[in-house]
Structure 1
C-alpha cells in the first residue's frame, strides 16, 4: 500500500481532481446563444422499473418519462454500426489464424458498446458527422477489449468468465490471449490513423485523438490504474482518495478519452471539448461505482462475469468504503454532475449523452 500511496501523492489524477460528496454545478457558458433548456426523458422503462436506482440530487426520477428521444433505438443502431465496422477491421489480418480468432472472439463478443457510442455522440454533439468518429469508436473498443483480456488473466484478476462465456485465456490459452490483447492495442492506433484519413478528418484532429487514446491506455490511464489496483490488494486499507485514483485511471480515463476524441474529430472548440471531457470523467466514475454496486447485488448470470469477485479478492470498492446506500448516493451525485456539463449545449444534440448517463446509472449488468 505504501507504493500505491506514493504513486497517488506523486502523480495524482491525469486531469482535474474531483472530490467525492462535493457536487458543484458548472456555471461556465459555452456559447451565450445556445439554449439551456433540456427535456428530461427516460433511458429505458425496463431499467427504471426493475433496478434499485441511485439517489439522485438534481433529477426527479419520477419525471424521467417525458420527451420523445428513443435512446434504446439509438444505442442499438450505434452498437450495430460499430460492430459491423469492427468486424470489417478484423477481417483479412495477416497473422496466424489462432491470433486472429482470439482477437475476434473478444472484440465481437457483444457488450453494450457504451464507449464507442460515447465517441460518436460526442462528435455529433459538436456538429460533426458520425462517420468522422467511427474510427475512434472502433479504436476505443479495441483498447477496452485489450484491457479486459489482460484483466481476466491469472496474473491479474484470474477471471474465467467474460460476457457470459469463457474468458479469452480460457478459450485460447494464456500466451495467445496475451498477444491478442497486445495486437488489439496496436491495431487501435493504426485504425485511428487510417480511418480518420479515409473519413477526411484533418490530420491535426486525428493526431490529437491518438494522443488522447495513447494517454488513456498507458501510464496516464489503464496501465497505471491496473498496477495501483493490484498493489492495493491485501495491503493496508485503501482510502477514498486512493480508490478514486485507481478508478480515474483504470476506468474513467478511457471513457474520458473516448468522448474527448469524438468531440475533437468532430471539430469541437476547446471549451466544448473541456465540457465533454468533464462529463465523461463523471460518467466513467459513475460506471465504476455502479459496477461495484452490481458486484454486490447482482448474480454471475445477470452480469455475464463472476459476481462477488472483488469482495473475495479483498479489493477496496465503493460499497465497502461507503456502504451500499452511500455508494448509491455517490452514483446519484456523479449523474447530476455529468448532466450539468451538458446544460450549455443544444438540447437535441445533447439528448444521447444525457440518456447515456442515465442508462449507466440505472443499468442491471
Structure 2
C-alpha cells in the first residue's frame, strides 16, 4: 500500500481507538475535557503510526498494537501540554489552536498532563490481548523512555541550556532524549506487540528510530526558520525567541540540511535487511524529512 494511504489508515485507526479512551464522564469533568482537547488537537500521530508499522513489519496483528499506539500518544500529548506551560516554553499556540493552558487555565493544563501520563500505563496494563510478559516489557519501555533517562531528561537539559551556546554533541544528546526517546519507545513497543521480535530485529529498528528521531528534530529546527506560523500551527521563530540552540544556529542552514540528509540515509540503511517488507518505514523516514509542518 502506498505510504501516504497507509499513514492515513493508521492515523484513522488510532483516532478511533483514542475516541473510546476518554468517553466516560467523571466527577472531574473539566480535567477530562482538557485531556480530550489535548489528545485531539490535530497531531500527525507519527508515534502511533510507528507502533503499527513495526508491528506489521514483524507479522503482528494490528489489534495487538492498539494499546501501545494509544499509550504513546497519551504520553506525547501530556508532554506537549507541559512543554507549552508558562514555566516551560510559554507558548500560546499548538497546531494552530490555543494551547491547553490558554483554552482552559494553567492549573487544569497541569492536571490534564498529569492525567494523560498514568492513563498510558493503565491502557498497557489492562490489555488482555497481550501476555503479561509483553505488557510488563512495554510498561518498562515507556517508563524508561518518557522519564528522566529519556524525554523528561531531555526537556531538563533543554531548559537548562536556554540562552547558552552549546556544542553540536550536547545538542544531539539533548534531542536524543527529548524527541528521540519516545520515537524509540514507539518502535520498540510496536515490535514487542508482534510477539515475533528477535534481538537483531530490535537492534535494527532502534537504529532506525534513533536516526529518524534526530531527523525529526533537525527538520523542526529548519522549519522554525523557513516555515510560517500559519503552516506550522505555532509561532514561527519561537526557538530564536527562547534563545534555544538549534542545528541551523550551530551548523548553518546548509549544514543542518546536510545533517538531515545524512540521518535519512542512516535510517534507510538500518532497515535494509528487512527488504521490501520495510517499505512503509522507508516512506515514513522520507516523510519526516520532507514535511512542511
User: Quick check: 1:159 aligned with 2:103?
Assistant: no
3-state SS of the aligned residue for 1:285? helix
Q: Which residue of 1 aligns with 2:18?
A: 86
Output the CA distance in 2 between the equivalents of 1:194 and 1:94: 20
Is there any run of 5+ residues in structure 1 with no aligned partner, and where?
A: 1-68
Instruction: Provide the aligned length of Structure 1 versus Structure 2.
Output: 292
Q: Which residue of 2 aligns with 1:31?
A: none
Query: 194, 203, 215: which is aligned to 1:274?
Result: 203
Output the CA distance in 2 between the equivalents of 1:76 and 1:232: 37
User: Quick check: 1:307 aligned with 2:239?
Assistant: no
TM-score by length of 2: 0.98
Residues 265 and 163 of structure 1: CA distance in aligned 2, closer, same or farther (over 3 Å): same
User: Quick check: 1:104 aligned with 2:48?
Assistant: no
Deviations 1:204-249 (A, max 9, x none): 11111111110111111111011100000123x1111111111000
Deviations 1:163-185 (A, max 9, x none): 11100000110000001001100
- Higher mean C-alpha displacement, 92-101 vs 164-173: 92-101
3-state SS of the aligned residue for 1:301? helix
Q: 4+ residue stretches of structure 1 with deviation over 4 A? A: none
The offset of 1:95, in angstroms, is 4.1
The offset of 1:94, in angstroms, is 3.1
Residues 95 and 359 of structure 1: CA distance in aligned 2, closer, same or farther (over 3 Å): farther
Output the CA distance in 1 between the equivalents of 2:80 and 2:231: 18
Q: Which residue of 1 aligns with 2:71?
A: 139
Give the RMSD, CA atoms, in angstroms: 1.0
Deviations 1:134-174 (A, max 9, x none): 11011000000000000000000000000111000001100
Aligned positions of 1:234-249 closer than 5 A: 234-235=163-164, 237-249=165-177
User: Quick check: 1:354 aligned with 2:282?
Assistant: yes
Residues 173 and 321 of structure 1: CA distance in aligned 2, closer, same or farther (over 3 Å): same
Output the CA distance in 1 between the equivalents of 2:273 and 2:138: 23
TM-score by length of 1: 0.79
Is there any run of 5+ residues in structure 2 with no aligned partner, and where?
A: none
Residues 273 and 95 of structure 1: CA distance in aligned 2, closer, same or farther (over 3 Å): farther
Deviations 1:247-304 (A, max 9, x none): 0000001000100111012121111011111101111000000000000100110001
Output the CA distance in 2 between the equivalents of 1:125 and 1:207: 22
The offset of 1:346, in angstroms, is 3.8
3-state SS of the aligned residue for 1:344? helix
Q: Which residue of 1 aligns with 2:191?
A: 263
User: Quick check: 1:176 aligned with 2:104?
Assistant: no
Higher relative contact order (CA 8 A, sep 6+): 1
Structure having the higher Rg:
1
Residues 83 and 313 of structure 1: CA distance in aligned 2, closer, same or farther (over 3 Å): same
Output the CA distance in 2 between the equivalents of 1:133 and 1:77: 14
User: Which has a greater percent of helix?
Assistant: 2
Aligned positions of 1:1-365 closer than 5 A: 69-195=1-127, 197=128, 199=129, 201-235=130-164, 237-267=165-195, 268-347=197-276, 349-365=277-293
3-state SS of the aligned residue for 2:101? helix
Output the CA distance in 2 between the equivalents of 1:301 and 1:202: 45
3-state SS of the aligned residue for 1:153? coil
Output the CA distance in 2 between the equivalents of 1:296 and 1:107: 27
